[in-house]
């Protein structure tokens, strides 16, 4: 599980009674929660928590390091989860709500032209979207009461109403924006590992108003969601990994 910063990682760890065990890898430091240590209880799931860094590039590099280390030791991951707080597009994703990505899309990888933005795929190469497993998105949304939709990855956080409107016009299904999901998804896809993105909304997408941000509420919502995640993952891992 990859977050941007330690506060998000620690919020997820706080959903469980166990104290994580630190695992040092080349290029990454993991906090490991295992069932035998009192972690994700009764679910048989081990969670490795990684504060991967801010932005798609560092998140991709850190995630790739952890994935490679696991594969080389013969214990490859079954799933990569990108998690954290995010800006929510209003009114569909209000502050404090939970969003589960059914599509992880990079919003600003491409070219500006006189006719508008052209995604990198329109230039004839690359990819701009990854789709998490449908059954897992469905089950997690049901378990947490969250909403499913597109989560955008941006390298520059939206700070104006005009930019928010532009993004919604290009991505009408977008519910949230954050800075790491696509990078994490690219690293996972390179090794054939499914990916999931879960975001708790801390602020509206649009003009920056720090007084309106509810980071503490969003971190609490994230912890609550992960308290319900482990049994969903175990069920999916046993029965639904065909999609």
The pLDDT of residue 45: 74
- Select from 171, 153, 139, 143 the least CA-distant residue to 86: 153
Show the 3-state SS of 77-125: CCCEEEEEEEEECCCCCCCCCEEEEEEEEECCCEEEECCEEEEHHHHCC
The pLDDT of residue 232: 87
Query: Three-class SS of residue 176?
Result: strand
pLDDT, mean of each 10-residue run, the chain (243 residues): 96 87 87 68 74 96 94 93 97 96 97 93 95 94 95 96 96 98 98 96 94 93 88 74 58
The pLDDT of residue 241: 61
pTM of the model as a whole: 0.92
Tell me the pairing of strands 80-88 and 98-106.
Answer: unpaired
Within a 10 A sphere around the Cβ of 243, how many other Cβ atoms?
A: 13
Domains located in the chain, CATH noted:
2-239 (3.40.50.1580)
Handedness of CA 187, 242, 44, 218 (dihedral sign): positive
**At which residue do the structure tokens 């991967």 appear?**
52
Judge whether 179 and 55 are in contact, CB under 8 Å: yes
Report phi then psi at 140, rounded to 5: -70, -40
């Amino acid at each position: 599980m990859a977050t941007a910063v330690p506060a998000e990682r620690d919020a997820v760890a706080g959903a469980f009674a166990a104290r994580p065990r630190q695992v040092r890898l080349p290029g990454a430091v993991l906090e490991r929660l295992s069932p035998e240590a009192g972690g994700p209880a009764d679910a048989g799931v081990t969670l490795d928590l990684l504060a991967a860094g801010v932005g798609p590039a560092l998140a991709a590099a850190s995630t790739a390091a952890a994935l490679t280390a696991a594969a080389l030791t013969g214990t490859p991951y079954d799933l990569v989860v990108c998690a954290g707080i995010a800006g929510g597009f209003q009114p569909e994703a209000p502050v404090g709500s939970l969003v589960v990505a059914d599509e992880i899309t990079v919003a600003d990888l491409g070219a500006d032209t006189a006719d508008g933005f052209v995604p990198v795929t329109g230039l004839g190469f690359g990819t701009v979207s990854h789709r998490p497993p449908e059954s897992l998105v469905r089950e997690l949304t049901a378990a947490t009461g969250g909403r499913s939709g597109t989560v955008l990855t941006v390298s520059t956080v939206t700070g104006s109403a005009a930019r928010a409107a532009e993004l919604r016009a290009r991505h009408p299904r977008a519910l949230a924006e954050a800075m790491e999901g696509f990078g994490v998804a690219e690293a996972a896809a390179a090794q054939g590992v499914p990916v999931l993105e879960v975001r708790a909304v801390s602020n509206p997408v649009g003009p920056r108003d720090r007084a309106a941000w509810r980071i503490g509420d969003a971190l609490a919502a994230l912890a609550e969601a992960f308290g319900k995640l482990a049994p969903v993952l175990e069920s999916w891992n046993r029965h639904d990994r065909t999609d």
